[in-house]
Chain A
Amino acid sequence: MADTTSAASFAQPQLDSPLPPTVESEIPTTRPLGLWADTWRRLKRNRMALVGLGIIVVFLIVGMSQVIAHLAGVQLTPYDPNAVNYALTPEGIGSPPSLSHPFGTDYLGRDVLSRTLVAARISVLVGVIAVAISLIIGLSLGPVAGYYGGATDAVIMRIADVFFAFPYILFVLLIMTVLGPGFTNVFIAIGILSWATYARLVRGSVLSVKTMEFIEAARAQGASDLRIIFRHLLPNTMAPVYVAIAMGVGGAIVTEAALSFLGIGIQPPDASWGSMISAYLTYLPAGSWWMLLFPSLALVLTVFGFISFGNGLRDATDPKLKE
Chain B
Amino acid sequence: MIAYIVRRLFQLVLVLIGVSMITFTIMFLIPGDPAVTLAGKGATPETVARIRHRLALDKPVYVQYGMFVGRLVRGDLGESYQFNRPVMQMIKEALPNTAQLAIAAVLIELLGIPLGIYSALRQFTFWDTALTTAALIIWGIPVFVLGLFMQWFFGLKLNLFPIAGGGGETVLWVIPADYLNLSCLVLPAVTLGLIEVAYISYMQRASMLEVIRSDYVRTARAKGLPERTVVLKHGLKNALIPVMTIAGIDLGALMGGAILTETVFSRPGIGLMIYTAIGSLDLPVVAGGVLFATLVYVIANLVVDIGYALVDPRIRYE
Query: A residues bordering B, Cβ < 8 Å?
Result: 1-5, 9, 14-15, 48, 158-159, 161-162, 165-167, 169-171, 173-178, 180, 250, 254, 257-258, 261-264, 277, 281, 284-285, 289, 292, 296, 299-300, 303-304, 306-308, 311, 320
With a cutoff of 8 Å between Cβ atoms, the chain A residues found around residue B31 in the complex are: 178, 180
| Residues A262 and B260 in contact in the complex (CB < 8 Å), given A15-B206, A158-B14, A180-B31 | yes
Who on chain B is nearest to A280 by CB?
B148
Least Cβ–Cβ distance between B12 and chain A, in angstroms: 9
A169 to B275, CA, bound (A): 11
Interface readout for B139-151 with A: 1 if CB under 8 Å, 0 if not? 1111111001101
| Residues A258 and B23 in contact in the complex (CB < 8 Å), given A3-B192, A170-B289, A177-B283 | no
Most buried by B among A1, A15, A175, A180: A1
Interchain residue pairs with CB less than 8 A apart (21)? A1-B139, A2-B143, A2-B199, A2-B250, A2-B258, A2-B261, A4-B196, A4-B258, A14-B242, A165-B18, A165-B298, A166-B19, A166-B297, A170-B293, A178-B29, A262-B259, A264-B278, A284-B151, A292-B148, A296-B149, A303-B140
**B203 contacts the other chain (CB 8 A):** yes
A174 to B137, CA, bound (A): 30
Does A161 lie within 8 Å of B15, measured CB to CB?
Answer: yes
**B274 contacts the other chain (CB 8 A):** yes
A303 to B275, CA, bound (A): 24
A320 to B297, CA, bound (A): 32
| Residues A158 and B144 in contact in the complex (CB < 8 Å), given A48-B132, A167-B293, A174-B26 | no
| Residues A308 and B19 in contact in the complex (CB < 8 Å), given A178-B29, A299-B142 | no
Contacts A4-B253, A162-B22 known; list 19 others, CB within 8 Å.
A2-B192, A2-B250, A2-B261, A3-B258, A5-B195, A158-B11, A161-B15, A165-B16, A173-B275, A175-B26, A177-B286, A178-B31, A261-B260, A262-B259, A262-B275, A264-B278, A277-B145, A300-B141, A308-B136
Does A178 lie within 8 Å of B26, measured CB to CB?
Answer: yes
**B152 contacts the other chain (CB 8 A):** yes
| Residues A300 and B263 in contact in the complex (CB < 8 Å), given A167-B297, A177-B283 | no
Does A303 lie within 8 Å of B142, measured CB to CB?
Answer: yes
| Residues A1 and B140 in contact in the complex (CB < 8 Å), given A167-B256, A177-B281 | yes
Binding site secondary structure of chain B: helix
Does A169 lie within 8 Å of B140, measured CB to CB?
Answer: no
Who on chain B is nearest to A301 by CB?
B140
Who on chain A is nearest to B143 by CB?
A2
Does B140 lie within 8 Å of A307, measured CB to CB?
Answer: yes
